[in-house]
Structure 1
Amino acid sequence: MNIWDLVLDLGIASLLLLLAKLIRVRVSAIQHLFIPVSMIAGLLGLALGPYALDVLPWSDSFTSYAGVLITVIFAAVGLATQFPSAREVLGRAGTLWAFNQTVTVSQWCVGLVAGWLMVATLWPELSPGFGLIMPAGFMGGHGTAVAIGESFQQLGWGDAFTLALSSATFGIFAAIFLGMALLNFGVNRGWLKGLPRFADMSTELRRGLVKEEDRRVVAREGISSMSVDTFAVHAAVVLVVTALAFLMSNALSGLHDLVSVPKFACAFLLGCIARTVLQKSGAGRFLDDGIFNHTAGGATDFLIVFGIASIQISVLITYAVPMALLMAAGLAMCIFLVLVVAPRMLGEEWFEKGIFSWGWMTGTVAMGILLLRVADPQMKSKVLDDYAIAYVPGAVVDILLISLMPMLVLSGYGWQALAGMLGYIVIVQLLARTFRGSAARLQPAG
């Protein structure tokens, strides 16, 4: 591979993104489906790529870019992560944190058990980690899918990469179509009032465009361009963290044959450390979290394009039946969590919180925001604020699961991992019962 292969691949992905955006803006039927532009671009890349029509001149290395991009994403996320205080978590978002943790860990438990049942009854040739393909794709979308797929690849199960990406693609479709069905079900049951029609939705929501009067400043410039461009400095920080994560992962993974430390986990850790150092030194006040967030968002869009275009259709066909059963089990569990568990844990506005959670538990946070804006177009609820507070402590558990589960299951420690996760769910449920009383005590007087 030479440098122009990289330029060509990025150019192809960029062209697909622009074409997909044009389709989203111009084609009303696509707008009705609320499909993200990056997903449209990825599906175009898959249809025109080497595993289908073989029209696009991708290089032989285009399937490897997703693994690099996920490391960049977690580096940027770590640099933009502000850890909330215990008062904020308990006082504002304790029950939502508990519900999020229950959802997250339950997916891993159900997936693991479903996979074992398939191996024990119908498909003994399946990998013991097959069931993890469901949470790999549902929780966190294509980013998490790439992380899990790469971990399984390094541990000797190469098909996992395609299966995880397929699970993530299926999950986004489920987030949209079943999410809209759940919204209408909620209206019919009286849980939600005034669901807007598509014709009444804003231009921003339908076409993905922002009116001039609603546009926001992307970032605050804290560094004078007379010395160096502020975007160059932010890019440099992200790339330094990404490079150090690569070196750290290789060093730690080389300590023992059974040790495989993902690069994205190192990137998140080093990103958080770098943020702390920058803030303590005073340099952090010249940097802007918005730029880091946009770096993560832009890298995610390209990751989805490369990820979907990398799906090997022949592998997916081979696993079609067990994958269908696994996806069905995952959807059944998610529906149960939204319609049965959410009203018992989330209190007021449980349906708004539940429908938002449906979006991210099957697809991505962006899908959750989309559904929430349909359910609550004026954003009168504080769901997003509470989620932002609850996200960071929950993300620590997410990263531990993504980092450790493939290695534990393929190394024969699946039962121990399952017992640990079930024990954690019990602890979370016990904590959830105390959060309302604790929240009242933690509120400041007056």
Structure 2
Amino acid sequence: MSLEVIGMAIVIIAIMLVIGKWIRLKVPLFQSLFLPSSLIGGFLALLIGPEVIGRFGGDFLSDGGLFTASIVDIWGELPGLLINVVFASLFIGFVLPKPKEIWQTGGPQIALGYTMSWAHYVIGLLLAITILTPLFGLNPAAGALIEISFVGGHGTAAGLSGTFEDIGFEEGYDLAIGLATIGMLSGVIIGMVLVNWAARRGKTTTLDHPKDISVDQKSGVIEEQNREASGVQTTSPVSIEPFALHVGFIAVAIFIGYLILEAFVWLEEVTYGQTFNIYLFEYVPLFPMAMIGGILLQVFLAKFDKRKLVDRKTISRIQGLALDLLIISAIASLSLTVIGDHIVPFILLALAGIISNIVFFLWLGPKMIPTYWFERGIGDFGQGMGVAATGIMLMRIVDPENKTPALDAFGYKQILFEPMVGGGLVTAAAIPFIIQFGSVPVLIAALILMIAFWCLGVFHTGKMKPSDKKPD
């Protein structure tokens, strides 16, 4: 495949992103639902691609719809690459607070988030053991799809595409991307319903009525007088463009992660792998190791970078770019045929993920979070539906002036949450563990951990002495 085709595939997907933004500005319903432009653009590309128009456009459009088949193939490969950028960027430039501060502020969110994630494994594995595998013949790894898609989102699903192929569960990728799309849509729509409900029922102390939502938030365009710098120049462009330097830092983190993963694969091969015929790391994708590479790079920079060359906002912009391109390319290359062939399992998994998130948020949120449970817990609900950005958006809608510790607590939660679940090491290792040891042992382990974090949240974090800011 030529570089020209690869370049054109990226150009077209970027154009779809701009068109998605334009559509959102022109359709008030999409603004009210806070649909991301990447989601809208992805659906548009899917509609005019091989899966929809390509099927009904006759011989002229049957190959790739309005796109060539090679362009769609490139879109299918992009998410697996871009997820490494997203995860490598998580902690670069992030100033780590003291452990006591992390726990005091983010402990309730950590307990709730882990309880929801382990519950996804429990529910998914129970479905796989009782229905999905015996009745529909799905691979036992289908038991991990709820956590992969609803907590991990499009990026994690895309990052595990190679793992799905390695275990002979190729359809798992399309099911995971489809579930992640359902999760994101449901997270935004149901999240807004919950915000309206909370405002009317007095469950939130910071939002009197949904009409308080600003025009900026609905349109997604920041008025000129309210705009702030998205980053600072830490180097002179004469020596190196600051944006290019930060891309280089992310590349270093990814390469460190690659070396770590290769070392583990080699170590496994020469130790217990040959002895017990158990291989786990050969199924583990690169992105969780890229995250570890980012953490190690940040530790190094914090100690030796006296000139403060890393700007966190610039890293976040690069991460956001990668995530937008990832989402739109993942949806654009989605196989509706695979989902159609497994429509009943798909619906069961989607309903299980949605219902469990709603129930756990409304039931356990007040028990695990001592103050401002709705303002803080809505972020965990949003993240549990597929992406942290949804959670942050919902928190900003509920607490637009940042009067509560919701955003701080959510950020602290990620320090102990992201490295493990929602795309972390546990998410990456879950499928290899299911394949190597079976669904039942993994189910038992997940159930024990779910109960442990459940008890931690209800009996400890829910009774912690609050040190929160109070609304004015």
TM-score by length of 1: 0.92
- Which secondary structure state, in structure 2, belongs to the residue aligned with residue 269 of structure 1? helix
Look up the match of 1:55. 66
Is contact 2:158–2:173 with CA below 8 Å preserved after alignment?
yes
Look up the match of 1:141. 153
- Residue 155 and residue 392 in structure 1: after superposition, are their counterparts in 2 closer, same or farther (change >3 A)? same
Look up the match of 1:347. 370
Within 5 Å, give how 1:380-399 maps onto structure 2.
380-398=403-421, 399=424
Within 5 Å, give how 1:396-435 maps onto structure 2.
396-398=419-421, 399-432=424-457, 433-435=459-461
Is contact 2:133–2:139 with CA below 8 Å preserved after alignment?
no
Within 5 Å, give how 1:265-304 maps onto structure 2.
265-282=288-305, 285-304=308-327
Gapped runs of 5+ residues in structure 2? 54-64, 468-472
Is contact 1:43–1:308 with CA below 8 Å preserved after alignment?
yes
1:351: how far off? Answer: 1.8
Look up the match of 2:45. 45
Look up the match of 1:7. 7
Does residue 71 of structure 1 match 2:92?
no
Mapped to 1, the partners of 2:408 and 2:466 lie a distance apart of 18
- Residue 349 and residue 59 in structure 1: after superposition, are their counterparts in 2 closer, same or farther (change >3 A)? closer
Residues 139-148 or 209-218, more deviating: 139-148
Look up the match of 1:24. 24
Is contact 1:148–1:406 with CA below 8 Å preserved after alignment?
no
Mapped to 1, the partners of 2:204 and 2:244 lie a distance apart of 46
1:414: how far off? Answer: 2.7
Look up the match of 1:91. 104
Mapped to 2, the partners of 1:222 and 1:374 lie a distance apart of 32
Residue type at the aligned position of 1:281: F
Look up the match of 1:122. 135
Is contact 2:367–2:462 with CA below 8 Å preserved after alignment?
no
Look up the match of 1:34. 34
Look up the match of 1:168. 180
* Correspondent of 1:312 among 332, 335, 341: 335
1:247: how far off? Answer: 5.2
Look up the match of 2:56. none
- Which secondary structure state, in structure 1, belongs to the residue aligned with residue 119 of structure 2? helix
Does residue 326 of structure 1 match 2:339?
no
Aligned length: 439
Residues 220-229 or 237-246, more deviating: 237-246
Look up the match of 2:246. 234
- Residue 4 and residue 283 in structure 1: after superposition, are their counterparts in 2 closer, same or farther (change >3 A)? farther
Within 5 Å, give how 1:200-219 maps onto structure 2.
200-219=212-231
Mapped to 1, the partners of 2:386 and 2:230 lie a distance apart of 25
1:266-309 deviation digits (Å, cap 9, x = unpaired): 21111111121222222561221111111111100000011101
1:205-236 deviation digits (Å, cap 9, x = unpaired): 11111112211111121212221111111112
Mapped to 2, the partners of 1:392 and 1:419 lie a distance apart of 26
Mapped to 1, the partners of 2:347 and 2:461 lie a distance apart of 38
Mapped to 1, the partners of 2:466 and 2:174 lie a distance apart of 48
Mapped to 2, the partners of 1:438 and 1:368 lie a distance apart of 23
Q: CA RMSD in A?
A: 2.3
- Which secondary structure state, in structure 1, belongs to the residue aligned with residue 92 of structure 2? helix
Mapped to 2, the partners of 1:289 and 1:375 lie a distance apart of 25
1:238: how far off? Answer: 1.5
Is contact 1:148–1:164 with CA below 8 Å preserved after alignment?
no
Look up the match of 2:470. none
- Which secondary structure state, in structure 2, belongs to the residue aligned with residue 220 of structure 1? coil
Mapped to 2, the partners of 1:11 and 1:269 lie a distance apart of 31
1:363: how far off? Answer: 2.6
Q: Percent identity?
A: 27
- Residue 385 and residue 440 in structure 1: after superposition, are their counterparts in 2 closer, same or farther (change >3 A)? closer
Gapped runs of 5+ residues in structure 1? 442-446
